[in-house]
Amino acid sequence: MQAYFDQLDRVRYEGPQSTNPLAFRHYNPDELVLGKRMEDHLRFAACYWHTFCWNGADMFGVGAFNRPWQQPGEALELAKRKADVAFEFFHKLNVPFYCFHDVDVSPEGASLKEYKNNFAQMVDVLAAKQEQSGVKLLWGTANCFTNPRYGAGAATNPDPDVFSWAATQVVTAMNATHKLGGENYVLWGGREGYETLLNTDLRQEREQIGRFMQMVVEHKHKIGFQGTLLIEPKPQEPTKHQYDYDVATVYGFLKQFGLEKEIKVNIEANHATLAGHSFHHEIATAIALGIFWLR
């Protein structure tokens, strides 16, 4: 296996006096805080998407990052190479967890059959990597927002074929998360919202995504997944308005569809500020409403 970070030592705790830029000065994984290891309080995870998939492009230019694993080649072999890179990086960074979208770790392919076959092969690769490294999966999710088919939504899309495609992705990604021992499964509706009310049936779209989430819960119990289902609130971007706007909005949605005992929230700090709240406001709200995930 080719090494990509062989010139770097593993990041370790060296204490507050350390001048090493690649060392922890305050984070000591084994230090006890209120009777609990610091690593168990702060469950850091490296994400697959921006770290290994983004090429540094923006709307004004091409990719600016040097990503040797993104060279032209056969898609599945490149995905396996990316897994080599990722787990070497996880080891060097000394993180106990990672997380992914389905198409971060596996080629989407030209059909659902290709998608599922590719993903099944990559799940076996990731399982072997986890076994070798001791790194665990914090959460998996399905990318139901990048492909142009999701331009008008995934679970809220008026086209039944698109709804079915999204459901297939979520089922497949949850099965993979279950097989890999993932501790959570995340749902983020990047396209579940609207650009304008002029062509939006709010009641119809809300009922569609409500039924979709009910089916997600049903599938969780069907396969015996013991992890937690999490919705990640975000008020906008890429849509003008997203239906999982903030913690309070998500709670109202969960109550409407009888899901408040089944699904909790995955709070992202910048999503909180985008909604006009502080990060701690969102956490406090989730705790007060009983949908804050506690390990």
Q: What pLDDT shows up at residue 70?
A: 85
pLDDT of 2 > 70? The answer is yes
φ, ψ for residue 248, nearest 5 deg: -65, -40
Q: What pLDDT shows up at residue 226?
A: 97
Give the residue numbers marked as catalytic.
101, 104
Distance from CA of residue 64 to its chain's centroid?
24
What is the pLDDT confidence band of residue 188, given thresholds at 50, 70 and 90?
Answer: very high
Residue 238 preceded by cis peptide, ω within 30: yes
Please give the Cα distance from 245 to 282 (Å, whole number): 11
Please give the Cα distance from 160 to 137 (Å, whole number): 32
- pLDDT tens digit string along 42-100? 999 999 999 999 999 988 998 899 888 888 899 999 999 999 999 999 999 999 999 99
Cβ contacts of residue 30 below 8 Å, gap of 6+? 37, 38, 39
Helix, strand or coil for residue 24?
A: strand
Helix, strand or coil for residue 145?
A: coil
Q: What pLDDT shows up at residue 280?
A: 97
What is the pLDDT confidence band of residue 295, given thresholds at 50, 70 and 90?
Answer: low
Please give the Cα distance from 241 to 199 (Å, whole number): 14
Contact call for residues 143 and 103 (beta carbons, < 8 A): yes
Domain residue extents for the chain: 142-289
pLDDT of 1 > 80? The answer is no
Work out whether the CA dihedral 210, 212, 217, 218 comes out positive or negative. positive
What would be the CATH architecture of the domain defined by 142-289? Alpha-Beta Barrel (3.20)
Q: What is the pTM of this model?
A: 0.95
Work out whether the CA dihedral 206, 162, 168, 77 comes out positive or negative. negative
